[in-house]
């Protein structure tokens, strides 16, 4: 499992470690690791062109010392100084190794043009403008230098610890931020590297061990690996039958949205449910019956609830359900049950109108995107997208439920536990119907006995793997789920 931390947590751990080491040891470890990664990325160091973007803090010192090591191996290294002060020992080391220096504050507009030229001609740019203490919008000249890393003909960009302009604790980005191809992070991963919008600026993460391990606290954010998910997934044994494996109830679909029911039921079937009981009105019933003959189907009369559907271990409620009076009656009867309930799509709209629907003793998992969460919290969507980590925690506190927040970074949050970030998937999953499939997968895992936090986390991981190679439709994701589950349960299996 990957663990990530806030800036305050990292600073506390660094302080504890530095108290036991000679001065400069941590910076030397960081700079050595940074130079090693950059040398590997360059392939051949001798004759390469490296530009350092250097700010006032310790990240600037890391970049200068790393640059000195590359210069000593034959690279042409130019340091672009942007801060009001500079790490003097690092600057001296760079100059001794033959590095060159451009102070853009002293050189004014001409200096910024010279910096632009240096960056365009470089093989690698090292971003040491701001470190984990940076917050808020970048000021000049930092902002202009960060903007240069966006250009299409830019060189390879390596961020030192965190891309400048990205809040290391939250992933928040206000204004310009460096767009890195690689981020070399020291000691432990920073939460903001994993969470959008910061994650979109991070590139590939490379770790440099500086000895923080024994001093790190409980993480603020975690991410599951394939091995973690494989260990959590339910496996049938010789005592299993369809009931022990988990019966999922699906209340979804309406006269206008029949496909949502088909996809949600399919997500449950393909991810390994022991049985799926589907309840809906006539039109989606016909579609589900035609596509999933293994589902046990109950056709509901107008205004009828799910009381006669039969026993289930978990419910999936909401995809394509509608938001009228008949849909509300279905929702009320589902939520009156004593089993876990997943609320998605239209069920979230109903809950936004009446939060009392969420007040129940059995577990509740909600799976909103930013727009749906904005209605649940009465917060503008833009604020949620700018800082999803903060808002998913707020949703847990205010709603008293487990939350799976869908988006460019999918987050899973539960009271008292680290927020989980899903690292699988791709932007191709942002297409109609994929959320219905995700709901069905999560419902299967809930019915199999996983708690809402683990069920949501594992479902997001599986869903992401199933939709990682785009372009994809929701049906493509649905068809890939079975192979993804098998690949994790059976080492060596490779789905076609």
pLDDT tens track for 288-329: 999 999 999 999 998 899 998 999 999 999 999 999 999 999
The yes-or-no verdict on residue 154 having pLDDT over 90 is no
In percent, the amount of the chain with pLDDT more than 90 equals: 91
Q: How far apart are CA 258 and CA 265, in angstroms?
A: 11
**pLDDT given at position 496:** 37
Binding residues for K(+): 59, 127, 164
Is the per-residue pLDDT at 415 higher than 90? yes
User: What confidence category does residue 491 fall into, taking pLDDT thresholds of 50, 70 and 90?
Assistant: low
Q: Is 38 left (phi over 0), alpha (psi -120 to 50) or beta?
A: alpha
Q: How confident is the model at residue 26 (pLDDT cuts 50, 70, 90)?
A: very high
What's the rounded mean pLDDT across residues 355-371? 97
Measured distance CA(109)–CA(21) in Å, rounded: 42
Residue 411's nearest CA partner among 378, 437, 384 is 384
Q: Please identify which residue in the block is written with the tokens 């004593």.
A: 338
Gap between the Cα atoms of 266 and 260, Å rounded:
10
Feature table: binding site for (6S)-NADPHX: 58-62, 131-137, 142, 161, 260, 320, 369, 436
CATH for the 226-489 domain, from 3.30.1330.20, 3.30.720.210, 3.40.50.300, 3.40.1190.20: 3.40.1190.20
At 48-107, the pLDDT tens digits run 999 999 999 999 999 999 999 999 999 999 999 999 999 999 999 999 999 999 999 887
Give start-end residues of each CATH 3.40.50.10260 domain in the chain.
2-220
CATH number of 2-220, picked from 3.30.1280.10, 3.40.50.10260, 2.120.10.30, 3.40.50.150: 3.40.50.10260
| Cβ-proximal residues to 109 (8 Å cutoff; 6+ apart), any chain | none
Start-end of CATH 3.40.1190.20 domains in the chain = 226-489
Higher pLDDT, 349 or 111: 349
Mean pLDDT of 262-268: 98
More confident residue, 151 or 129: 129
Burial class (CB in 10 A: 0-12, 13-18, 19+), 491: exposed
pLDDT at 494: 44
pLDDT, tens only, 421-442: 999 989 999 999 999 999 999 9
Residue ranges at the known binding site for AMP: 406-410, 435
Alpha-carbon gap, residue 361 to 83, rounded angstroms: 55
Average pLDDT score over the chain: 95
| For residues 465-490, average pLDDT | 94
Residues 68 and 99 sit within 8 Å (Cβ to Cβ) = yes
Name the token pair of 428: 């191709």
Q: Which residues are annotated as a binding site?
A: 58-62, 127, 131-137, 142, 161, 164, 260, 320, 369, 406-410, 435-436
Non-local (6+) Cβ contacts of 395 within 8 A are 366, 368, 373, 376, 377, 401, 403, 405, 413
- Share of residues in the chain with pLDDT > 70 (%): 99
With cut-offs at 50, 70 and 90, classify the pLDDT of residue 495. very low
In 3D space, the residue among 390, 389, 417, 394 whose CA is nearest the CA of residue 1 turns out to be: 417
- Nearest Cα to Cα of residue 125 among 139, 141, 110, 145: 145
User: What pTM does this model have?
Assistant: 0.93
Let me know: does 91 contact 120? Beta carbons within 8 Å.
no
Residue 455 pLDDT > 50, yes or no? yes
Q: Are 271 and 485 in contact (CB under 8 A)?
A: yes
| pLDDT score of 475 more than 90 | yes
Query: What backbone phi and psi angles, to 5 degrees, belong to 249?
Result: -95, 135
Residue 420 dihedral angles phi and psi, to the nearest 5°: -95, 135
Q: pLDDT for 103-140, tens place per residue?
A: 998 877 788 889 999 999 999 999 999 999 888 899 99
């Amino acid at each position: 499992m990957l663990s990530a931390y806030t800036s305050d947590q990292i600073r506390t751990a660094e302080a504890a470690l530095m108290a036991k080491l000679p001065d400069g040891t941590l910076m030397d470890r960081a700079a050595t690791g940074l130079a090693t990664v950059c040398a590997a990325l360059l392939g051949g160091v001798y004759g390469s062109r490296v530009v350092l973007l250097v700010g006032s803090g310790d990240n600037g010192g890391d970049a200068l010392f790393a640059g000195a090591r590359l210069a000593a191996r034959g690279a042409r290294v130019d340091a672009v100084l942007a801060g009001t002060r500079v790490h003097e020992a690092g600057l001296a080391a760079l100059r001794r190794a033959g590095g060159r220096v451009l102070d853009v504050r002293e050189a004014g507009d001409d200096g910024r043009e010279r910096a632009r030229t240096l960056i365009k001609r470089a093989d690698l740019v090292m971003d040491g403008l701001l470190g984990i203490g940076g917050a808020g919008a970048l000021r000049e000249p930092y902002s202009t230098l960060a903007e240069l890393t966006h250009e299409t003909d830019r060189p390879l960009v390596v961020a030192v610890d965190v891309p400048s302009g990205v809040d290391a604790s939250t992933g928040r980005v206000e204004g310009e931020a460096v767009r890195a191809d690689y981020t070399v992070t020291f000691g432990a991963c920073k939460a903001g590297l994993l969470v959008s919008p910061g994650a979109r600026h991070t590139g590939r993460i490379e770790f440099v061990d500086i000895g923080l391990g024994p001093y790190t606290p409980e993480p603020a954010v975690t991410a599951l690996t394939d091995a973690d998910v494989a260990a959590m997934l339910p496996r049938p044994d010789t005592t299993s039958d369809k009931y022990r494996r988990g019966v999922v109830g699906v209340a979804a679909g309406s006269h206008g949205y029949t496909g949502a029911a088909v996809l949600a039921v399919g997500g449950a079937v393909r991810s390994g449910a022991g049985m799926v009981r589907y309840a809906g009105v006539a039109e989606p019933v016909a579609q589900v019956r035609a596509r999933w003959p293994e589902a046990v189907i109950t056709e509901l009369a107008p205004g009828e609830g799910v009381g006669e559907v039969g026993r289930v271990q978990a419910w999936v409620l909401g995809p394509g359900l509608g938001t009228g009076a008949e849909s509300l009656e279905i929702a009320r009867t589902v939520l009156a049950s004593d089993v876990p309930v997943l609320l998605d799509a239209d069920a979230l709209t109903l809950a936004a109108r009446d939060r009392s629907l969420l007040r129940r003793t059995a577990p509740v998992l909600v799976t909103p995107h930013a727009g749906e969460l904005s209605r649940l919290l009465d917060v503008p969507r833009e604020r949620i997208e700018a800082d999803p980590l903060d808002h998913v925690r707020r949703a847990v506190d205010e709603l008293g439920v487990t939350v799976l927040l869908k988006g460019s970074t999918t987050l899973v949050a539960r009271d008292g536990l680290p927020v989980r970030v899903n690292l699988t998937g791709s932007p191709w999953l942002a297409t109609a119907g994929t959320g219905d499939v995700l709901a069905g997968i999560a419902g299967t895992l809930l019915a199999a006995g996983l708690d809402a936090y683990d069920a949501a986390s594992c479902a997001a991981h599986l869903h992401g793997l199933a939709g990682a190679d785009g372009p994809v439709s929701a049906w493509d994701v649905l068809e890939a789920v079975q192979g993804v589950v098998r690949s994790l349960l059976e080492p060596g299996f490779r789905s076609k």
